[in-house]
Amino acid sequence: MIKADIGIIGGSGLYKMDALKDVEEVQVDTPFGAPSDALIVGTLEGTRVAFLARHGRNHHLMPSELPFRANIYAMKQLGVKYLISASAVGSLKEEAKPLDMVVPDQFIDRTKNRISTFFGEGIVAHIAFGDPVCGQLAGVVADAIANLNLPDVNLHRGGTYICMEGPAFSTKAESNLYRSWGATIIGMTNLPEAKLAREAEIAYATLALVTDYDCWHPDHDSVTVDMIIGNLQRNAVNAQKVIQETVRRLSENPFTSDAHSALEYAILTPLDKVPAATKDQLNLLLQKYL
Ligand SMILES: CSC[C@H]1O[C@H](OP(=O)(O)O)[C@H](O)[C@@H]1O
Ligand SMILES: Nc1ncnc2[nH]cnc12
């Protein structure tokens, strides 16, 4: 059975991890369909890790098309306990410059069209989500960034990530509205992942890599893909260094997170009243509570 302790989801620009050794490509099937791509399981800093390109290795899936449930369930099937999500983001604050890294601690949901729960079909659960990322894992990621001292990269500990539907970027009115809410960064992918990871009792943290100033900044042109391609490439190199350092630190100091028992008091439906087909489908999440 192929196993990995740490999962890595690579976003725009990060389609592979060059430093992985003893690599196996695993086609994982889940009750929620196929993930975005094969999972690449390999050794990094002596630990087995599983890498998944969120949009597929050729970036063929839009944010609204991503199989979020399959992606998180596939990680769970491999035994992943810690999940690091690398993501390209626009900046909503002057001080968060392109190439900077933000480790957010909050999200605001502006998506319209995402399935963000494994529950339903005869079972109801409400996970606590006041602190949507695992503070311990976020701390390890932030410490890794601080320790690396990458040129032209400032670290921002904490901040709010607006998750919009896309695929079009925001209007200036929207961008300024999010700024008035005090948000730090904007992207299109991380909130459904964070919710599903919490339901799957996987500790989740975001490594947000700033590519642009969205469209609010008077001294910068509005974001276009063409404009951010160079930053995506530089960010991908930096992200791999941060992920490697994070994995090294995690392997040396593994921890138990509240996320690892998130379902303990979340399920309202008596488990003996849950339809058998639903119980089967969610077996991996429910087995420890049966
Ligand atoms: C490359 S511009 C928009 C695109 O980038 C972000 O992707 P990811 O979060 O997967 O790194 C953003 O969410 C959009 O999908
Ligand atoms: N400005 C932006 N808005 C939404 N997602 C992004 N990903 C990178 N830059 C972005």
Quick: pLDDT tens for 188-238: 999 999 999 999 999 999 999 999 999 999 999 999 999 999 999 999 999
Q: Would you say 222 and 246 are in contact if contact means Cβ atoms under 8 Å apart?
A: no
**Which ligand 1 atom sits closest to the C-alpha of 62?**
15
Whether residue 187 has its Cβ less than 6 Å from ligand 2:
yes
What mean pLDDT comes out for the span 266-290? Answer: 97
Quick: pLDDT tens for 88-98: 999 999 999 99
Q: Where are the domains positioned within the chain?
A: 86-289
Which of the listed residues 14, 54, 188 should we mutate to test ligand 2's pocket, taking the one with most ligand atoms within 8 A of CB?
A: 188
Q: Are strands 82-91 and 21-26 parallel, antiparallel or unpaired?
A: unpaired
Q: Is 248 annotated in some ligand binding site?
A: no
Instruction: Return the active site residues.
Output: 212, 214
Q: Which ligand is nearest to the CA of 206?
A: 1
Question: ipTM more than 0.95?
Answer: yes
**CATH number, domain 86-289:** 3.40.50.1580
The residue whose CA is least distant from atom 13 of ligand 1 is 188
Quick check: 60 pLDDT over 90? yes
Model pLDDT, residue 158: 98
The reported pTM is: 0.98
Q: Is 126 annotated in some ligand binding site?
A: no
What is the phi-psi region of residue 34: left when phi exceeds 0, alpha when psi lies from -120 to 50, beta otherwise?
A: beta
Whether residue 100 has its Cβ less than 6 Å from ligand 2:
no
Model pLDDT, residue 113: 84
Q: Is 236 annotated in some ligand binding site?
A: no
The residue whose CA is least distant from atom 7 of ligand 2 is 89
Quick: pLDDT tens for 98-124: 999 999 999 999 999 899 999 999 999
Model pLDDT, residue 45: 98
Model pLDDT, residue 15: 98
Quick check: 1 pLDDT over 90? no
Q: Would you say 109 and 191 are in contact if contact means Cβ atoms under 8 Å apart?
A: yes
Q: What percent of the chain has pLDDT over 70?
A: 100
Confidence of residue 9 (pLDDT cuts 50, 70, 90): very high
Model pLDDT, residue 272: 96
What mean pLDDT comes out for the span 33-42? Answer: 98
Nearest to 126 by CA among 279, 238, 268: 268
What mean pLDDT comes out for the span 235-246? Answer: 98
The residue whose CA is least distant from atom 9 of ligand 1 is 87
CA gap 197, 6 in Å, rounded: 13
